[in-house]
Homo-oligomer: A and B are copies of this chain.
Amino acid sequence: MGETSHFTNPKSLAVIGASNTPGKIGNALVKNLIESGYKGKIYPVNHKEKEVLGLPSFPSITEIPDDIETAIFVVPAKKVLDAALECGKKGVKNLVVITAGFKEIGRAGAELEKEFLAICRQYNMRMLGPNCVGFIDTHTPINATFLKGFPPKGEIAFISQSGAILASILDWSQTAGIGYSRIFSLGNKADLSEVDFIAEAADDPNTKVILCYIEDVAHGPEFLKTVSEATKKKPVVILKSGTSQSGALAASSHTGALAGSNLAYDTAFKRCGVLRVSSMSELLDLAIAFADQPVPKGDRVAVVTNSGGPGIIATDKAELNGLQMARFSKETIEELRSYLPAEAGIYNPVDVLGDAKADRFRFALEKVFKDENVDSIALLLCPVAVTEPLETAQALIELSREYPEKTVIAAYMGGQALAEGAKLLTDNGIPCFAMPEPAIAVIAGMSSYRKMKERAVARQKAEDVKPDQKTVKAVFYDVSRDNRLALLGSEASEVIEAYGVAVAPTALSQSPDEAAEIAEEMGYPVVLKIASPKILHKTDVGGVIAGLQSSEEVKNAYVNIMETVHRYLPNVVPYGIEIQKMVPKGIELIVGMTRDVQFGPMVGFGLGGIFVNLIKDVSFRLANGLTSEEIAEMISETKAYMLLKGYRGDKPADIAAISEVIRRVAILARDFPEITEIDINPVFAYEKGVAALDVKITLS
């Protein structure tokens, strides 16, 4: 994103719509620019005024006798097109469009936004907004917003799709004394979006952690590419709202019904290494922790407290969030035992007791910091009679400096009595909460980031396969000539077999004699199934007869099925009857694929059979670029994995073969974007190999 690299540090600025009238946005904005200490040149543009807030004003941008890098728009919507043209001619690089009245007000606004964007494209200008509140960089420094106040300098970048939430966060942070490096309001995201500013912040030396509030992602593939790179450099924490599942109801396949857009975001964030949070507090808590503390080297957390209760609460929370309570070395335990009172807790959590002053806290903390089995430390302090919150804070700060590689978080559990100590901690880079739970939660969140990064490093793209694309194309051609979107079972089987997935032999017959002939060739037993894309639940209409052992039985079954189905569904004309060789029962699995409008194909894997929607034991990954490690992860996340490993003394199943099925389904989805959904349910897994039984494929 070389094009936006001057966004936060422009050499010169024009404010189109600058105003001398207090209360107007064009006034607040120029005032903010001046007061922020911005060192570039500011050129107000206002066709009535000679001066705006002491700066010489120009009737039009074209009349400014200087190059303009960035233009900020605060004019009414009806004037933006003319102003944009002038900016283009003037050679402006970047537009920051505060002006509202575009896509957000409906069709007419959307049209205007389109025209506006076209002018930007024509003159090679980039646009932030429209309908945004601007941006801030505390290091430049520059405040190109109309908001009240300017946050302290800090290392948190915040990118928000909601201007109001940005205003909230800013006000909240100023009160709490939390610093930011950069802040962007995205507005309607007509041109630039979260990906651009995430990419830039990832390379910004003043930024340690990137926060986002978003309601959607503008460009799925770009997001995946850019954000995957960004998370390798620094943590990206996202609050994505709009998690309603209603969108998922329309899907026609099992896999599709289980997925839905919220899960697609989860899957995409997992791929990119994004930390997804579910509340604003979590977002801010994690931001503070990442900004001030190192990412823990491992999952082993030590808790030091002056009371049993918070110690238990912290232990519960640690277990719940996948952390480990550190097991101290013998030496640590002996040292703690030798000095602390007999009733103290010397294992983890360390309880220095209610009568502990700062010296006892210091002693215990020292031993815990020193212990190599400890990756992170949570200090939980209650305001009991003799507590010395300030001196205890001092001890923690000193030890934290001595052991800079250990992550340190505090909870000063109280209000006024502990305020001074808590402030000393936060002023010295130790995040301090009022409750024990968020202290443990941020350690867990930071550890998740470390694990995601480790996994990302381990990943290598899986090898490609050489499928028989011709067969697939031929099948699709027949289907399209037949004006269908759903493949018959025999066709779907042919398609996945062409991609190297083992299928129970399946063929279509159109008469009792043909059926018998095919069965003779396959060998017995066989199962007969009605062939019609219009019949979803074949068993329910008498469309399936299994366990047939001879050609006679096959012929009878053929007639039988046709008659029964006709009674149930007199208006459906079946394509014939499918004959499938019956294979031994294995572990019933489902492998499937569905497409997300933003992030493309996703593969799913889990327990199969008729209860798949009941048990919902299905994990998903993005199909494109799927790695062997991701396949291993998605298998191991499911309950099916317990079965595959060998449940209660059973022999393990052929996990390698199952992995191949997932991989090949992903490649099929990539090669044929016209496939909207795939369901293989069940696919049987055996000690050796697999067999796909029932395959459904739908085209767009």
Binding site for B on A (CB under 8 A): 25, 28, 104-106, 146-149, 160-165, 167-168, 171-176, 213, 215, 239, 241-245, 279-281, 306-310, 312-313, 315-317, 319-320, 342-343, 354, 382-385, 413-419, 434-437, 537, 540, 610-611, 614-615, 617, 639, 642-643, 647-649
CA distance A696 to B343 in the complex (A): 44
CB < 8 Å neighbour of A175 from B174, B310, B385, B416? B416
- Closest chain-B Cβ to A300's Cβ sits at a distance in Å of 17
Minimum CB–CB distance for A31 against chain B, Å: 13
A161: chain B residues within 8 A (beta carbon): 309
What is the bound-complex CA distance between A161 and B317, given in angstroms? 19
User: Which residues of chain B are near A147, meaning CB under 8 Å?
Assistant: 385
Chain B residues within an 8 Å CB radius of A434: 172
CA–CA, A205 to B413, complex, Å? 30
Name the CB-closest residue of B to A317: B279
Q: A309-B165, A647-B610, A647-B614 known; A435 and B280 CB under 8 Å?
A: yes
How far does the Cβ of A194 sit from chain B's closest Cβ, in whole Å? 14
Residues of B with C-beta under 8 A to A281: 435, 437
A163 to B385, CA, bound (A): 11
Shortest CB–CB separation between residue A215 and chain B, in angstroms? 6
Q: Which residue of B lies closest to A308 (CB)?
A: B162
A597 shortest CB reach to chain B, Å: 18
A25→B385 CA distance, assembly (Å): 9
Contact yes or no, A382 B167, CB < 8 A:
yes
Chain B residues, CB < 8 A from A615: 615, 617, 639
| Cross-chain contact B242 with A312 (CB below 8 angstroms) | yes
| CB neighbours of A171 from chain B (8 A) | 383, 414-418
Alpha-carbon distance A171/B148, docked complex (angstroms): 32
- Cα-based distance from A385 to B148 in the complex (angstroms): 8
User: Which of B168, B239, B649 contacts A537, CB < 8 Å?
Assistant: B649
Residue of B nearest to A162 (CB): B309
Contact present for B28 and A385 (CB under 8 Å): yes
Interchain CA distance A172-B174 in the complex, whole Å = 21
Other CB < 8 Å A-B pairs besides A165-B310, A172-B415, 8 of them? A146-B385, A162-B307, A165-B382, A215-B309, A537-B648, A537-B649, A610-B647, A614-B647
Contact indicator A279/B167 (Cβ below 8 Å): no
Instruction: Given A437-B281, A648-B537, answer yes or no on A105-B164 (Cβ-Cβ < 8 Å).
Output: no
CB < 8 Å: which of B104, B165, B383 contacts A343?
B104
8 A-B residue contacts at CB 8 Å? A106-B343, A171-B415, A175-B414, A280-B313, A611-B639, A611-B643, A614-B639, A614-B642
Pick the contact of A383: B167, B242, B245 (CB < 8 A). B167
Q: Give the residues in chain B near A243, CB-CB below 8 Å.
A: 316, 319-320
Q: How far is the CB of A352 from the nearest CB of chain B, in Å? A: 11
Q: In the bound complex, what is the Cα–Cα distance between A342 and B167 (angstroms)?
A: 23
- Given A243-B316, A343-B105, check contact A413 B168 (CB 8 Å): yes
A615 to B611 alpha-carbon distance, docked (Å): 12
Q: A175 — nearest CB in chain B belongs to which residue?
A: B415
CA distance A415 to B611 in the complex (A): 50
* A165 CA / B437 CA spacing, docked (Å): 13
- Within the complex, what minimum Cβ distance (angstroms) separates A547 from chain B? 15
CB-CB nearest in chain B for A643:
B614
Measured between C-beta atoms, what is the minimum distance from A505 to chain B in Å?
A: 27
Q: How far, in whole Å, are A241 and B162 apart by their CA atoms in the complex?
A: 38
Rounded to whole angstroms, the CA-CA distance of A176 and B434 in the bound complex is 12
Tell me the bound Cα distance from A643 to B243 in angstroms.
28
Alpha-carbon separation in the docked complex, A211 to B610 (Å): 46
With a CB–CB cut-off of 8 A, which chain B residues contact A163?
307, 354, 384
Cβ–Cβ < 8 Å partners of A162 in chain B: 307-310
A545 to chain B, nearest CB (A): 18
Cβ 8 A contact of A437, one of B149, B164, B245, B279 = B279
**Residues in B neighbouring A174, C-beta threshold 8 A:** 415-416
Find A415's partner among B146, B176, B316, B320 (CB 8 Å cutoff): B176
Find chain B residues with CB under 8 A from A173 CB.
415
Once the chains are docked, how many angstroms separate the CA of A354 from the CA of B310?
41
A538 to B205, CA, bound (A): 65
In angstroms, Cα B435 to Cα A173, docked, is: 13
CA gap between A210 and B382 in the complex, in Å: 22
Per the bound structure, the CA–CA distance linking A313 and B434 in Å amounts to 24
- List B contacts of A418 (CB < 8 A): 171
CB neighbours of A310 from chain B (8 A): 162, 164-165, 168
Q: Report whether B244 and A315 are in contact in the complex, using a CB–CB cutoff of 8 Å.
A: yes
Q: Whole-angstrom distance between the alpha carbons of A342 and B160 in the complex?
A: 24
The closest CB in chain B to the CB of A435 belongs to B280
Which 6 pairs, one residue from A and one from B, show the smallest C-beta to C-beta distance?
A175-B415, A162-B309, A164-B307, A171-B414, A164-B382, A168-B413
Closest chain B residue, CB of each to CB of A648: B537
For A308, A342, A649, which residue has the most chain B Cβ atoms within 10 angstroms? A308
Residues of B within 8 A of A244 (CB): 315-316, 319
Q: Which of A385, A436, A610 has the most CB of B within 10 A?
A: A385
CA distance A617 to B616 in the complex (A): 12
CB pair A164–B343 under 8 Å, yes or no, is no
- Across the interface, A342 reaches (CB within 8 A) one of B28, B105, B312, B647, namely B105
Chain B residues within 8 Å of A239, by CB: 313
Contact B148 A417 (CB under 8 A): yes
Shortest CB distance A617–B (Å):
8
